[in-house]
Structure 1
Amino acid sequence: MLSFNFGGKNSYDDFGILIAKRPDIPSPKRRVSTINIPGRDSNLRFDEKTYEDITLGVECFVKDTQNLGSKLDDIKAWLFGVGESDLIFSFQSDKKYIAQVVNAIDFKQVYRYFSQFPIIFNCRPFKYAVENNMVTLNTSGGDVTNPGSLESEPVISIYGSGGIVLKINEDQITFQDITEKIIMNSVIQDCYDDSGNNLNGKMTGEFLKLKSGGNIIEWSGSVTKVELLPNWRWL
């Protein structure tokens, strides 16, 4: 039985929604700008190394009941009330999209006992691991393997004090005057403490990422441990 989880609820178990077929999964469009230069063969390309959102369409059915009107109201309240949330399909339960319903939902009776309706999800470009488990490193030089097909943007908590250099493979970032802990969030490109206070002024360098495959994580300075929320992702 095909189904999906969205906003903490299951389409079939909670609402009796039947999915007509497995939805098509498009690849995100890469942002590449081209400039036509007179007198030059081909175009000049500028690759931003970023991707556009994708759209997923799901054709659904719901069985007519005595309380069909109330059921349809509940379905609409669920889909629109959630806003942006995790979207997990039953045919790939270990991956999730970050999605939001963007279409007006029109219910149309197509069989004697069934109403049909489309759901269109606007999704961020990537799939993410459902199990986004924290990785803890107590010694410098640990190896962390990225199972995804893309660089991941981790959230890294560094416990220590004073001046610290954190290195992933050949890239490094420097922190100064750390008192106890600093959090480096590569998703939103911000550094802060547990209270949310901005600590970007204590950081020098580019926000670190984890390449697909093996990654060596090293540090110098007074560090007791490093915690890493990896955010593995796939196209």
Structure 2
Amino acid sequence: MLSFTFGGKNSFQDFGIFVASRPHIPSPERRVTYIDVPGMDSRLRRDEGTYGDITLSVECSFLGDPVPKISAVKGWLLGAGEADLTFSHIPGRKYRAQVVNSIDFEIVLKITSHFVILFNCQPFQYATDNAPIVVTDGSGYVLSNPGTVKSLPNIKITGSGAGALTVNGGNVSFSNIDGTVTLDSTIQETYQDTGTSLISKNSTKIGNYSVLLPGDNAISFSGGITSLEITPNWRWL
């Protein structure tokens, strides 16, 4: 029996809801702008290299009497906001999703136990196992990206003073490492996590935020850097 997990709760185990049929998984649309130029054949293309969100339509049914569970289900689905979404038939992958349809669950479910949930999802599937990878050899490390698109890693750097990180030939230098500093490519920020607050370290960094391409990625570091802790954030279309 197919089910899904959203916001830390499983549809079947917690609410008796099962997925009636496997949802269609659409491909995200790549953001490309086309410009007509007088006197020029074809059109100019401006490829942003990014993708739009996708919508998953999930047909569900209740096992047993749904009426006592309606309020709890609405609170779960609509109250979770944007959260991790996994399906039992897609192991090892997750979406970042939010329920967006304004369906009145209470009215519908008093008539029938069949209903549809619309999830607005970020364009990629992510790995459910996103454990950090520790690198202590600064002379050279190869990290293989199993995904189909580049990933935006979170790299926690340990060391002191000045140092440099190199990923696939791209250098990022740091002028004043004091214990640890985090290079977060997802939000394009550099900061130090004290455990109670985040302190901006953008002014200590020179260079572009690192990305991990599909396949092998060469990583090295030098200077005052002693180790890396890489949370890879693998992604698939």
- Give the TM-score band, short-chain normalised: over 0.9
User: Aligned match of 2:217 in 212, 215, 218?
Assistant: 215
1:85-96 alignment, distance < 5 Å: 85-96=83-94
- Counterpart AA for 2:62: V
Distance 1:63 1:72 in 2: 13
- Counterpart for residue 151 of structure 1: 150
Aligned to 2:207: 205
1:1-235, aligned counterparts within 5 Å?
1-65=1-65, 68-107=66-105, 108=108, 114-140=112-138, 141-195=140-194, 196-235=198-237
Deviations 1:18-72 (A, max 9, x none): 222100000111000111001000000000001100000001112452xx32211
Determine if contact 1:160/1:178 at 8 Å carries over to the other structure: yes
The structure 1 segments of at least 4 consecutive aligned residues displaced by more than 6 Å after TM superposition are none
| Paired AA for residue 142 in structure 1 | Y
| Residues 156 and 183, structure 1, Cα contact 8 Å, conserved in 2 | yes
Count of paired positions: 231
Deviation per CA, 1:94-120, whole angstroms, max 9, x where unpaired? 000000000023453699xx5211100
> Would you say the 8 A contact 1:98–1:124 is kept in 2?
yes
TM-score by structure 1 length?
0.94
Per the alignment, in what secondary structure is the counterpart of residue 113 of structure 2? Answer: strand
Q: Which amino acid aligns with 1:131?
A: D
**C-alpha distance in structure 2 between counterparts of 1:63 and 1:167, whole Å:** 54
Q: Is the 8 A contact 2:67 2:110 kept in 1?
A: no
Structure 2 distance, partners of 1:157, 1:228, is 6
Percent of pairs with identical residues: 48
Q: Which runs of 5+ in 2 are unaligned?
A: none
Paired residues of 1:157 and 1:184 also in contact (CA < 8 A): yes
SS of structure 2 residue aligned to 1:75 = helix
Structure 1: any 5+ residue segments left out of the alignment? none
Give the TM-score normalised by structure 2.
0.94
Inter-partner Cα distance in structure 2 for 1:76 and 1:92: 25
Distance of 1:53 and 1:3 partners within structure 2: 22
Is the 8 Å Cα contact of residues 106 and 118 (structure 1) preserved in structure 2?
no
Task: State the superposition RMSD in angstroms.
Answer: 1.5
